[in-house]
Structure 1
Amino acid sequence: MTFFGESQSSQPAVVIKEDYTLAAVFSAVGIALCTLPYLGFGLGALITVLGILFFVQAGRVRFVFDNEAFELRTLGNTEELEKPGENIVVGGQNRWKYSSFVNWEFFPKGLVEKGLPPILVYFKETQTPDTEWSTGPGAAANSAEALEKGAVPGMVHFFPCICDAQQIKAEFERRGCKKL
């Protein structure tokens, strides 16, 4: 694969392998719930749609680690990785320097260590302007109560674990991304 705007560097960029496990589990659980009357059908349909979305996104979104930053890319028509445009929540590039990371984790915690895939990947960074840090889940993550308990201020990001959790964990560690 080639990378849009890739420069020569001492280490090759690492593209995290896609993983369809979360999509398959959501789809299977959703379909099973659809067989139940009343609430099961509505909830099952919603979970099935999420499973389908995860299948589509796992096929097109890639997480890339280069020499200086973690970046979101999309797979283009020619197998070339492209920049996806601005962040849909706060604007700006979907690229964060490792030095800006203040924490990262998987949810639920502990699954990756047992060899199981998590549902979400989380990271918090300080590169995004601090005026945006309270957007969405950032309000709770940067509250006085959270900070008193040891949280570090920053912009919160979550994404479904549609990639190899073991590989992304290894790269977060290898690149020196801070972790509480």
Structure 2
Amino acid sequence: MESALLCASRFFPSRIKHYSEVGSFGRNYHSSFCAQVPYSNSLSSRNFGTARRSRIVITSAFGREVKKETIIPEPDYRIPAVLLGTAGGLVYVDNLSAAFPIGLLGLLLLVQTTRVRFVFDEEALEVKIGDQLQESGENAFVGGKNRWKYSTFLNWELWWPNFPILVYFKEKQTKPEGQVHFFPVIFNGKQLYDVMVERCGSSKTSAPK
């Protein structure tokens, strides 16, 4: 949980900005898993729930580069709620030794859910803080900025799709042999999965039901 749980004070998100693509001819975009992924007009509009648009997507009939919207998945409080509820149940049965760490983790993730944001811009995923999207600073464990280009992703997974708990990804930007990152899914899991597939390529094993 190197990049999320232990560095909570650095990582603090909120809402998703709706993603919609406009184009009558379709397009191709680069994927970290495949060289070119066809994009058809039938899939040119996606619904990410309650969202807002940050900028218009520009398409070209002549194969020129397509600009993507910045997308920020909405917060999801289910994991903090489950942890705090479990802690409350343990207090009720007088199991304080287990209730304290679970409750503390629940409070930690509750604060993270309120403040931390995953920002998917045109070329990279970046962790930012607050409504003003402030910089999260340098990664305290592996160094470097908390921003990773999609082209450097080697693999990613979402565990578990029906009730997402963790999102994992491995990138070679931090170090050539690959750096692993784990984050608790304190965002809307469907929105997170969809934008990861669109920007980073298909996950090898995960797929929301």
Structure 2 length-normalised TM = 0.63
Counterpart for residue 54 of structure 1: 109
- The 8 Å contact of residues 55 and 70 in structure 2, kept in 1 or not, is answered as no
- The 8 Å contact of residues 31 and 45 in structure 1, kept in 2 or not, is answered as no
Q: Per-residue deviation at 1:11?
A: 2.1
| Cα offsets for 1:102-147 (capped at 9, x unmatched) | 111122x3xx2xxx322211111111124xxxxxxxxxxxxxxxxx
3-state DSSP class of the match of 1:175?
Answer: helix
3-state DSSP class of the match of 1:102?
Answer: strand
- The 8 Å contact of residues 170 and 180 in structure 2, kept in 1 or not, is answered as yes
3-state DSSP class of the match of 2:200?
Answer: coil
Counterpart for residue 137 of structure 2: 85
How high is the sequence identity, in percent, across the aligned residues? 40
**Count of equivalent residues:** 143
The 5 A counterparts of 1:22-33 are 22-33=79-90
3-state DSSP class of the match of 2:80?
Answer: helix
**Residue of structure 2 aligned with 1:42, choices 94, 97, 102:** 97
- The 8 Å contact of residues 16 and 62 in structure 1, kept in 2 or not, is answered as yes
Structure 1 length-normalised TM = 0.73
Q: Per-residue deviation at 1:175?
A: 0.8
The 5 A counterparts of 1:10-29 are 10-29=67-86
- The 8 Å contact of residues 119 and 126 in structure 2, kept in 1 or not, is answered as yes
Q: Per-residue deviation at 1:8?
A: 9.8
3-state DSSP class of the match of 1:162?
Answer: coil
Q: Provide runs of 4+ in structure 1 moved above 3 Å.
A: 6-9, 176-180
| Superposition CA RMSD, Å | 2.2
3-state DSSP class of the match of 1:72?
Answer: strand
3-state DSSP class of the match of 2:158?
Answer: strand
Amino acid in the other structure paired with 1:58: T
| Distance in 1 of aligned mates of 2:55 and 2:85 | 42
Q: Per-residue deviation at 1:46?
A: 0.8
Which structure shows the higher helix fraction? 1
- The 8 Å contact of residues 102 and 179 in structure 1, kept in 2 or not, is answered as no
Unaligned runs of 5+ in 2: 1-14, 16-53, 58-66, 205-209
The 5 A counterparts of 1:137-156 are 153-156=177-180
**Residue of structure 2 aligned with 1:164, choices 164, 179, 188:** 188
Amino acid in the other structure paired with 1:129: K
The answer as to 2:156 corresponding to 1:99 is no
Unaligned runs of 5+ in 1: 131-152
